Amino acid sequence: MPDKDAGTPRVFLYRHGQTEWSKSGRYTGVSELELTEDGVQQVLASGKMIVGSGKLIDPSNIAHVYISPRRRATQTFDIAFNDADKQSLKDAEKVSETDRLSEWNYGQYEGLLTREIRALRKEHGLDTERPWDIWRDGCESGESPEEVTDRIDNLIQEIRSIHRGNMHSENPCDIILVAHGHLLRAFTKRWLGYPMEFPLSLMLEPGAVGVLSYQHHSIDEPALLVGYGFPLQE
């Protein structure tokens, strides 16, 4: 039986590789950190497996690559794609950096661990009835869930304008997002129409790739691909 959703446009969520702070669990928003050596190897491994002609992320099928302006994200794109594919995409004006993919602005919580954030908020007289939850409470002097929602929704609207009218692969329509752990999980919630505080537990390892798409070739049925079949490699 043929796959009823074959050829539907996809959005690939490419998380940057490991940094020293992601390794230790410290919240990393605006700070500029390089990938660790393990982080470089994570991206090299995923890129070698799924990026390239005839692979899951085939440059010939890409409509646009959106990249967070943070160094760890741009470094990930540089490693995952070979030089020829990067140049071809750039020459076709299919690559851009956008603040809409910047990691959540953690404000006073930048560089802290979750337990340190909760202790700080307790000192500030917050969370007397329940523990801090970034999806509901946001960050002091940083972004609220509503602010993150607004910039993600703006990008989703732009992506859907590319996908609309191309739901059966009429034109190359895959979108690549190279960004961050919290931001890409937030993007997934909004793609599916859930508010930030909706209790949808999502995991995305450093250097890993998630996939979003649509059901029934319908722009009105955004979906999360929880499993994906890989192309046969020659």
Binding residues for substrate: 28-29, 72, 103-106
How many whole angstroms from its chain centre is CA 113?
21
Q: What H or E segment, with its residue span, contains residue 116?
A: helix 114-123
Per-residue HEC secondary structure of 26-76 comes to CCCCCCCCCCCHHHHHHHHHHHHHHECCCCCECHHHEEEEEECCCHHHHHH
| DSSP-based three-state secondary structure for 11 | strand
Name the binding residues. 28-29, 72, 103-106
First to last CA, the chain: 24
Task: Respond yes or no: is residue 103 known to be catalytic.
Answer: yes
Q: How far apart are CA 121 and CA 107, in angstroms?
A: 13
Of 34, 93, 103, 197, the active-site residue reads 103
Residue 8 is encoded by which pair of tokens?
């539907």
In angstroms, the Cα distances linking 203 to 124, 185, 210, 224 are 30, 8, 9, 13
Q: Which residues are catalytic?
A: 16, 103
